[in-house]
């Protein structure tokens, strides 16, 4: 799901081509959200079908620029403002890093919402499983929550010291395969 919302967030900053979106997702998550071009284009097709993105003008040189619709922008902001307690820690890292990297998003507020949720979940009562299973499960659960909490605190502190946002790279992607590297065997 992060791919879908990441695409909408990046398009909210600047219209993009599909391959450009893949590059931006990689940049904004330090490679943690590596998707192939096919997944980008199939996600764009679904987003267009559902009315969340549209093509911007006619294709140029076989490339299509996309932009979000108002509904797509609303969907993205609703995702940012919601904390899914069942999301994996990796998806939380992806979401927060995307939010922190987008100039039009208050990434610190997104991180703070997730931090507040972690702190609230860490005080939930233990119940349901017999001992020693309960202790074992809660030890693992609290270890993961503590790691996520510590990371979120560090992200918020870093963002308070220096801006983490950056614009979409406007260099349009080239078509075709990259040129082969020539190695000098002398």
Q: pLDDT tens, 110-128?
A: 999 999 999 998 876 666 6
Is the per-residue pLDDT at 138 higher than 60? Answer: yes
Lowest mean pLDDT among 4-13, 68-77, 138-147: 138-147
Query: Would residue 169 count as lying in a domain?
Result: no
Query: Would residue 170 count as lying in a domain?
Result: no
- Which residue would you say has higher pLDDT here, 1 or 67? 67
Q: What pTM did the predictor assign?
A: 0.86
Q: Is 150 helix (H, G, I), strand (E, B) or coil?
A: helix
Query: Would residue 127 count as lying in a domain?
Result: yes
Query: Would residue 110 count as lying in a domain?
Result: yes
Long-range CB pairs of 94-99, under 8 A, 24+ apart, other chains included? 94/2, 94/6, 94/29, 94/32, 94/33, 95/2, 95/5, 96/152, 96/155, 97/28, 97/29, 97/30, 97/32, 98/2, 98/5, 98/6, 98/9, 98/25, 98/28, 98/29, 98/33, 99/9
- Which residue would you say has higher pLDDT here, 170 or 81? 81
Query: Would residue 85 count as lying in a domain?
Result: yes
Count of structural domains within the chain: 1
Task: Give me the mean pLDDT over the 87-102 stretch.
Answer: 96
Query: Would residue 70 count as lying in a domain?
Result: yes
Given pLDDT bands bounded at 50, 70 and 90, which one contains residue 183? low
Given this model, what pLDDT does residue 155 score? 96
The DSSP code for 81 is T
Given pLDDT bands bounded at 50, 70 and 90, which one contains residue 178? low
Given this model, what pLDDT does residue 126 score? 62
Given this model, what pLDDT does residue 160 score? 95
Given this model, what pLDDT does residue 59 score? 77
CATH code for position 68: 1.10.10.10
State how far the Cα of 177 lies from the Cα of 186, in Å rounded to an integer.
Answer: 27
C-alpha 69 chain-centroid distance: 19
CB-CB contact of 44 with 3 (8 Å): no
Given this model, what pLDDT does residue 1 score? 81
Query: Would residue 80 count as lying in a domain?
Result: yes
Q: Is 115 helix (H, G, I), strand (E, B) or coil?
A: helix
114 lies in which domain range? Answer: 2-161
- Which residue would you say has higher pLDDT here, 129 or 100? 100
State how far the Cα of 140 lies from the Cα of 148, in Å rounded to an integer.
Answer: 12
Query: Would residue 172 count as lying in a domain?
Result: no
């Amino acid at each position: 799901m992060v791919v879908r919302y990441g695409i909408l967030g990046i398009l909210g900053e600047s219209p993009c081509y599909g391959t450009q979106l893949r590059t931006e997702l990689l940049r904004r998550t330090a490679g943690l959200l590596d998707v192939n071009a096919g997944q980008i284009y199939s996600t764009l097709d679904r987003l267009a079908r559902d009315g969340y993105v549209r093509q911007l003008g006619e294709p140029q040189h076989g490339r299509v620029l996309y932009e979000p619709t108002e509904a797509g922008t609303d969907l993205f902001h609703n995702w940012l403002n919601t904390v899914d307690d069942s999301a994996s820690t990796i998806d939380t890292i992806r979401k927060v890093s995307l939010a922190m990297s987008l100039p039009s998003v208050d990434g610190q507020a997104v991180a703070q919402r997730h931090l507040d949720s972690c702190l609230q979940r860490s005080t939930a009562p233990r119940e349901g499983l017999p001992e020693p299973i309960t202790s074992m499960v809660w030890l693992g659960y609290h270890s993961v929550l503590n790691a996520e909490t510590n990371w979120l605190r560090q992200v918020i502190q870093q963002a308070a010291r220096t801006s983490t946002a950056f614009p979409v790279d406007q260099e349009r992607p080239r078509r075709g395969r990259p040129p082969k590297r020539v190695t000098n065997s002398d």
